[in-house]
Chains A and B, each alone.
Chain A
Amino acid sequence: AETRVALVPGGPHPFFANWEGGGVDAVKDFGVASSDYRVPQEWKLDMQNKMLESLVSQGYNAFAVFPGDANGTNAMVSELKDFGAPTVSIAGCTQSPSPVEFCLATDVYKSAYQGTMALIEAMGNEGKIVHETSLLIDPNTQLRVAAVEQAIADAQAEGKKVELYQHLTDVDDQEKADQKINALLAGKAHEFDGLVSTAWVASVVTSKALRSSNNEDLKFIAIDHDQIVLDAIKDGVIQGTMLQNPHGQAYIATYALDKLLNGCTIKADAPFSPTPQHTTFIDSGTMLVTKDNIDNWEAEMKAVTDGIMATFDEKFLDCAS
């Protein structure tokens, strides 16, 4: 049958824009019938579910989904499965046990851990750290909080004089983030030494705030590839950002879904790298971008994708024919 893949994010957000290219490239490279980027109108589970339902009605037969809710999306996926449509979760994982074929995403725990470690290094191995993260009701928030705390604990174990100052949550809305982060910087900047962000919006707002405050004492490791963040790294305003691999996620997912629809299955003994959240997890890659590699991160990221692709069939797929 023709494979018609739908790439469905949780809602409109610039992070996912690179999926579109990933899907298009996969269609070109692997001869898949189509791989379309379809966006729910709003960031809410209900909207996403309705979108998925209507996509089935429109004839899509394979899905790569960013779970609008790690638990809630499972129910939807099992219905897609009942309908005979293979589904993978990308960019974020569902909660296991889960009916998705696999989850291809950034290891948020690893990314937050590495980001915090990078920050500690940038701070010269001492000082207090603020962690900015997203909504409390987002389950990944818990993982990120844990990762940051673990990284700090590990650093302390190595004798570094670092400690956690505060978790600042609920900074997903641009205007709210602007107010909260600026209030924190203005009121208490002298009481801590570095910030690590695990949320897109907070990264953007903090990069801007640091640029305008000219506060060279504060170190900052952001997340994702917003232009403002990248520019801030180029100009040395902030120290780095943890990149994710949205293009690769869509690219690999399209490829795999096509295979799954055409007779392949996921190997029973596939070498997944389970996370606390998800058992059939595949790391889509993450990398730290600093001033040093700011100009060729796209190529480096492509290499990561190619690395996963090179061994994908062999590691994960069981194709009868």
Chain B
Amino acid sequence: MKNDNLMKRFLAAEWSSLLILSLVMMAAMTIITPRFLNFDNQAILTRSLAPLLIVAFAQAIVIGIGQMNLAVGAIGGMVAVFFGGMMEAWGFPIPVAIAIGFACGVAAGALNGAIIAFSGINGFIVTLATLSIFKGLNLGVTKSIPFYEMPDALVWFGEARFGPFAAILIVPVICVVALAWFLKYNIYGRQILAVGGNAHAAELAGISNNRVTILAHTISGALAGVAGMLSVARLGVGQPTIGGDWLLASFAAPVIGGAILLGGHIPILGTVLGVLVIILIENLLVLYGVDPQYNEFFVGALILAAVGFNHWRSLRAEARLKEGKA
């Protein structure tokens, strides 16, 4: 009886179907290549998971207030090359570079938020414009040539692993836990969700929409910056192209995880699993040696299947709730 209840509650949770889906995919991969479960391979998996996880939350927090941040990738790339540049060209020690890099991300995000809040211009347009600005800075500074000489400690960190876990996974874990706490137990976190849920009502309740907009974008910028620096650690190079490919995945993960683009809801576990599913899909295709021509098609089909499955489950849960009430 009690188990039954637990099972029901598990199935009713919005992330349950994604969890099942990822487990199924992992099982499939284990069957294809028994080596999949190797610590080696798991470490690789977690390693590529790490930056994307942070990126997904950089987007999720802005989706939470019903806006978008198209500049996540551009901020990440800009912070990445500044970070790399500070260490190579100026020889800054790692902690100093991290601190300045982080500050850059915060500043970039705050700039986005402030422009949106005070000008009243649609966030989509503002972040699209700042995307150009940040990317332009990156290009202008590097002329698209990477910074190669990264300190050994950083490179070591990017490659180290503990058992099946890549060392760099610690960063997203900290970020996600902190964010989860923030959104649930901090007043400002609640305010972000309130504004996303109903901006007008929140305003009438004395919550400043402008302040919340700036806050959410600042957090987003900070996370994007962290993801950029983490990518430098992971790649061992201050690549100007970092962030170029983040945009779609940054939306896809939270949305697969159950985020609502209108705002008001940020699924923590859902987003984590969304990232996992995306990475697993790509890994599955590589390991299965799918004919490259079919690759794109399967990525699309699998995303559709994943979301469809999740949605079907939530519909079922909803229906059961209504019937149960009767």
Contacts and interface: CB of A to CB of B under 8 A. Distances in A.
B145 A228 contact: no
B35 A175 contact: no
Interface stretch (B100-108, B280-288, B315-323): B280-288
Given A169-B292, A179-B48, A187 B287 contact: yes
Contact of B35 (A136, A176, A188, A212): A188
A12 B139 contact: yes
Contacts of A185: 44
Interface residues of A, number: 33
B301 to A, nearest CB: 17
A179 B51 CA distance: 11
B53 interface: no
A174 B234 CA distance: 11
A169 B295 CA distance: 10
Interface in A204-255: 204-205, 208, 212, 227-228
Q: Which of B44, B234, B237 has the most CB of A within 10 A?
A: B44
Contacts of A13: 144
A204 B237 contact: yes
Given A12-B139, A187-B36, A188-B33, A182 B237 contact: no
A174 B40 contact: no
Nearest to B34: A187
Nearest to B245: A173
Contacts of B143: 12, 17, 39
Nearest to B52: A175
B289 A175 contact: no
A116 B160 CA distance: 32
A25 interface: no
B139 A180 contact: no
Contacts of B144: 12-14, 17, 39
Interface in A60-83: none
A182 B235 contact: no
A179 B235 contact: no
Please give me the 10 A-B residue pairs with the lowest Cβ-Cβ distance, nearest first. Answer: A12-B144, A179-B48, A169-B292, A186-B41, A186-B44, A182-B44, A186-B40, A212-B159, A173-B245, A183-B283
Interface of A: 12-14, 17, 39, 41, 136, 166-170, 173-176, 178-180, 182-188, 190, 204-205, 208, 212, 227-228
8 contacts: A14-B146, A39-B143, A174-B235, A182-B44, A182-B48, A186-B40, A187-B44, A208-B235
Given A173-B241, A187-B36, 8 more contacts: A169-B295, A176-B282, A179-B283, A183-B44, A186-B43, A187-B286, A205-B235, A227-B148
